[in-house]
Structure formats: structure tokens, C-alpha cells
Chain A
Amino acid sequence: MEDQKNILKWLNRETSDEELARLQEAKDFKTLEKIAHYASQIETPKVDVETALADLKSRTKNTAKKGKVIPFNFKQVYKYAAAIVVLLTTSYFLFFNNEASFKTEFAQTKTFNLPDNSEVILNSNSAITFDKKEWESDRNLTLNGEAFFKVQKGKKFTVNTEIGEVTVLGTQFNVKERANYFEVKTYEGLVSVAYKDTLVKLPKGTIFKVVNGKIDTVNTFDINENSWLQKESNFKSTALRFVLKEIENQFGYTIETKEVDLDILYSGGFTHADVNIALQSVTIPLQLSYKIEGKKIIIFKYDK
């Protein structure tokens, strides 16, 4: 025990000569001496202080520090940015957005007046958008679907559709634009229709029809038969596919057909009041039969 203490003292270079002499007498001091001697010869990696310091400086240079570095708080900024965006967009919609739009769903019609008191009756599954502010100088609207217009006399009145453009001065007319189907009927006055390169003037009682990109030559209709406004749809020599499409629009069903010629021409009409009566008035004359399954109508060939 006493030895142990002296050994530690010796390793700490604190022993007196006397104590050292006593230690050296111990029998295993030789090993201890060797341990102490050779352990101190273990080589540590020599540090080249100059280069190491230079290296350190270059590494800290990038994070050059003068005073405390406050990290940029992106979260905070995002918060404010988000608030500003919300503020700007809401104020935009409140104060600057003059776009008005009217939209109807399946089996729904809507009657409304434009800023100049022109009347619009929007058929089902259709939409109209126009600019309120510009309206006075430019009566211009975009139609998607079918609508009847009773235009007040005044400046040029334009209906834009994906397929064609209709311009009038003051009349009553009907524009119908469905997939691959475009139709304009004039009830009063004169309507000019621009379709691709052709410009057609439609006097009262005439119809302009484009089916699958082809202009239909049939060009008269009965002006007393303003059909869908009286809650029914009327067709004259129209392919069955468009008639069925209209049933879908009016009643909100999807129609499936089995072995039915969709290009067969149909003349006649269907009511908007009852889906069964409507389907009967279309299918019976064409010798077809139908089935209603939930929101789906299946039309098939009538078996005798």
C-alpha cells in the first residue's frame, strides 16, 4: 500500500531520493521502470501547428464572425408571406375581380339579366362568364353549353364558344354548344355567326348547326317551338348520340347503349318533366328499349 503511493508519486516526479532508493529495492520495480520508460516512447501524431492553424483559419473563414449570427428564420417569413398572399388574393377577388359567372348543374335552368338588361336563360349543365366592368363598352360573354338570349338593342353583342362566335345587335336567339355540336337558332332579328372561316347571317326562323365539324344544311325551324324553354327538347333530323347527350344533360343520368346505331337520325322531342316519358318518346319511335339502373340508363335494341 505504501509502495503503491510511492509509485504514483514517482510517476508524478515527486519522489525524494530517499523514497526512490526504497522503491528500487522492491523486486518488481524493474518491470515498473520499463513500463514507465517505454510507455512514454509511444509516438503520437505530430501536429504541424503552423499548417494546422492555417487550415483552421480557412475553415472558419466561411463562417466569418463579427458579432452574433442570428439564423434567418424562414418559418417566420413564411408565416408573413402566407398572410400577405391571403390578404392580396381576397382583396383581389373583392375589389378587382369583375368576372361574373353563372352556372347550372344537371336538370337545372337559370334565368338572369345581364348588366344591360338583356335576358339570358341558361339551360342545364351550362355556364356563362363575362366581365362586368367591360360590359358597357363590349358586350362579350363566353358560353359553355346552351342558352337562350333576348338581347337589348345596343352595341354589338358577342357570344363566344369553343366552336364558334355569335354576334348580334338586338334579337332573340338560342346558342347551343355541346361536345362536337354547335347550334344557333334565331327567333327575332338577325344574328351573325362566325364559324372558322365562314360568316353566316341568320335571319329570323333560321338555324345554323355544326355537327362533328360539318355544317348542317337544314336551315329552318319553327320559331314557336322554343322547346327547352317550355321544359322540353326538340330535335329535327339529329343523330341519336346528341339526343342522348341532351337527355344526360337534362336529367343527370349516364347513358350506356348496347348495339344501337348512334348515327340514326331522330326528329321529335322529349319533356324535361319525367325521365321515363322522355326516354319513351325517344326510344319507341326508334324501336329501342331502355332500363334504368340507379343513375345509369341502358338503351338496347328492342327484341320482338
Chain B
Amino acid sequence: MPQVLGGFEHRVLLVLMRLGGSGYAVPVVRELERLENRTVAPAAVYVTLRRLERRGLLTSSMEPPGPGEGGRERRVFRVEPSTVEVLRAARADLARLWKGLEALEP
């Protein structure tokens, strides 16, 4: 059965890809807020990241802060190579749905 992505899951995964394929919760919240220009509940990002991990779309590990970052260990989430396929499939699904509706595009 193919993986179906929820709307928020989809967006969180895309943001992680933009962050270079990995990152912890704080940059994800920040980037989402910047791109969508609205406040994002950190709790929503928290549960989504863990749900995606549960579903095998992400892996995570505790890692020390990178050079120049603040001083605590944090859980860093990584996008699995297979997940990129899931994202592509989701995009293709959307594209299929859009086919024939070109008149609506700006």
C-alpha cells in the first residue's frame, strides 16, 4: 500500500528537504513560519516529526550542536532516500489531479 502524506506532513518533509535533508524541530518551525508567513504551533511540528519517524519516512538520532550553534544535544531528523520517492509520488498525484484544470492556474 503506498504511503499517503497528510498536508502538514507533506509541508514538514519539504521544509526538511530545504534544510538540506536534515534538521531539528526549531529550524523547521522557523522555516515554516517564514515560508508560510503565519505562526506554527511547535507542538504540531513535534508530533508530525515523530509520526513521520514512526511511519519510517524519517530517522532520528541525538546529536551534539554543530559549530557555531547553541550548546545542547538535540534530536536531528533525517529524510530517508526512499522518502524522496514518496514526495515525488505525492507531487505526481497532485499534478494528475491538476491536469485539465490549467484554466485555474494564475
Say whether A associates with B: no
Residues of A within 8 A of B (CB): none
